[in-house]
Amino acid sequence: MTLIALVRHGETEWNRLGRVQGHSDIPLNDTGRAQAAGAGEALRGGDYRRLYASPLDRAKETAEIIGRATGLGEPVLHVGLKERLYGEAEGMTALDYWSTYPDRNAPGSESSIELQERALAALAEIAEEAGADPVIAVAHGGLISTILRYASGGSLPREGEHVGNGSQQIVEVIGPDVRVIGYNGSPR
């Protein structure tokens, strides 16, 4: 059994503006750095032994800030933790994306099923490597929401909630099974 704290990266300007980021490599803004520092403080003393992050700058920088706060140092980068690839929708406002692609499948995008398979494979790889060591993994809202939906049978995130920047969701990985232990979704 591996305990994993899934942390969403801090805010970027595209988050602030409501733009779809996907694999676009947008850096943290000052608010995002403060959120990362807050997440680091919240996770300090949690007996975490390993730190992983998506290689996208916003997640990597969030993890570096958390690593300093927790004493875990630099994160191990894991490509499986990257956000969903949104293809041609990247850079659009979320409202334009939803109205243009009501099925959520823009040309060149990764499907929801592909994202779920990739996210679960990443968790399994991290859990296998970490063993019983508790882990912090810094990732993205879409990926974390996908894991929560899978692990909760679709009940999380709740209607009207999203995974907030800097929030922590705690999951337990036992082989192929993922169970939500702690949920900190925030209202829109």
Instruction: Kindly list the catalytic residues.
Output: 9, 83
Write out the E strands in 54-96. 76-77
- The count of C-alpha atoms lying within 13 angstroms of the C-alpha of 150, restricted to the half-sphere facing its C-beta, is 23
Q: Is 81 left (phi over 0), alpha (psi -120 to 50) or beta?
A: alpha
8 A C-beta contact, residue 166 and residue 6: no
